[in-house]
Structure 1
Amino acid sequence: MRLLVFGQTGQVARELARRLPPDVTATFLSRSDADLMQPATCAAAITARDMDAVINAAAWTAVDKAESEETAATTVNGDSPAAMARACAAKGVPFLHISTDYVFDGRGDTPFAPDHPTAPLNAYGRSKLAGETAIRASGARHLILRTSWVVSAHGTNFLRTMLRLGAERPSLNVVADQHGAPTPAAAIADALLTATRAMTQGAAGGTHHFAGTPDTTWADFARAIMAGAGLPCDINDIPTSAYPTPAARPANSRLDCSTFTRDFGIPRPDWRAHLAGILQELRT
């Protein structure tokens, strides 16, 4: 199986490169190969190559920055994935794309199903929803995989931030009224590889959810990080209102992942087991 992957240094792209099965080859495109600020170059990168499937693991992920640069975020998260999907439709190859829980409004305490009405609270969520809408309209056979709270041993993420601050301070204030689930980038990579193989063999795609288990809060996740790392940093629960940010965050990021398990046989990963592995990797 031959893959073309947009993204090279992001969390999921790195894990994809590390976890390729022996019978899979992949070309990873950096920004210099295909600039997501220029959608036409993304389409051209697909048109010029031979592949069995395309995975988009690149995105604008600066949530707060998107509030002041929504046009740029929408180009990266909306227009470029749309161009990729149209190019995949023309070549007749599956297109797999990572999206986010931020397309929902975060109300209630029930996990969001894939067909729940979308209502993003911020510019980042709107930009990702624009990409989803365009992909569905492209005519490409596609998989849109929404996930949440991505973590790994590399890149910029909550886990690494907590480790850094926990080593410097005796206590930290962490939001305790936002609920969701950390999702290991390694598990996302494995899920994408399994789904890609299935789609190249004729499986249907659609829109699905994939997130870690069990659901938790940022504060409880921070406590698990400190305990796993052996850091004596106390975590103080605070409400979202005590930690204002330019972009509003959903209070409920729980995702119903049952359709992905049903259609692809992939269960939710236990983030606690992955946390131990990530911490061990960082130690070594």
Structure 2
Amino acid sequence: MDARIWVLHSLFLHSKSLKSAVYFTRMARPKVKCSGAARGCRHQIMLWEKKIQLAKEMRASVDSETGQTEIRAMKAEIHRMKVKHEQLLKHQERMIRDMELAVARRETITTRAEGHSKTDKQFLTRTDFHHKQTELRRKIRDVHKATEACTTTISELEEMQKRVSDHLVEKQAQLAAAQSRTEELDADLDQLMALKRQNLSELVALQTRQKHLQAVKDGRYVFLYRSKDSLLVEHARMHNWLATVGAILDHVQDEYPQFQEVLLKVRQTIASKLESLGPS
């Protein structure tokens, strides 16, 4: 008996949940949720069929003389469930018809729009226009974002260019100062090298002279020119030869200015020799 009461109580609770489901199903919009509601109703119908079958089996197993009150309550509940089952079937059929009508209406609208688009290329439906307008707005928004990003990047690059330009100007000033200093050092180096060569020449001349004087002192020096006249003749010949070489170097320097720096040292050496020899 307790089992039957528990089954009846559970059937009563399930009937309440079914009422709530049917109520919320009716409140939902059929065009959007017809398919989901139909599946839910089909599931509920299958559950109720199982529960009705279970109730019939329990009714057949219950003794006819005992529990008449509970049996009558169960019969009433079973009748009520059958009625609810029929209502659910009707509601399912109605939702299926609504869904079929909605699909047919949608296909009709689509076919009509395709026909218009084939006959008139300039014809746009409201949906197409809305889609194109949304797409254009999205593209405009993307272009604005890209423009802002490019503007920011350009500003950053301009600032970087300004910093690099300032740094370059500073480095150029430092380079110019370094080049000027290098030119000064090169000029000083050239002067020192010329002085070194001059000193070296003088040193060699003095060493040669010392050697000759030592030979004279020791009585081993052999005079190249025994007379003063022959010495003067050789002196004049050497002076003329150096003068001729100096004139040739001057002419070469005028004709080939690119060798002027190299020939200048030789010309200075010849000039110093001429000065040491004195007038012819």
Higher strand share: 1
Higher helix share: 2
Could you say which structure has the larger radius of gyration? 2
**Fold-level match, TM-score > 0.5?**
no
The TM-score, its normalising length taken from structure 2, stands at 0.19
Question: Which fold has the larger relative contact order, with Cα–Cα distance below 8 Å and residues 6 or more apart in sequence?
Answer: 1
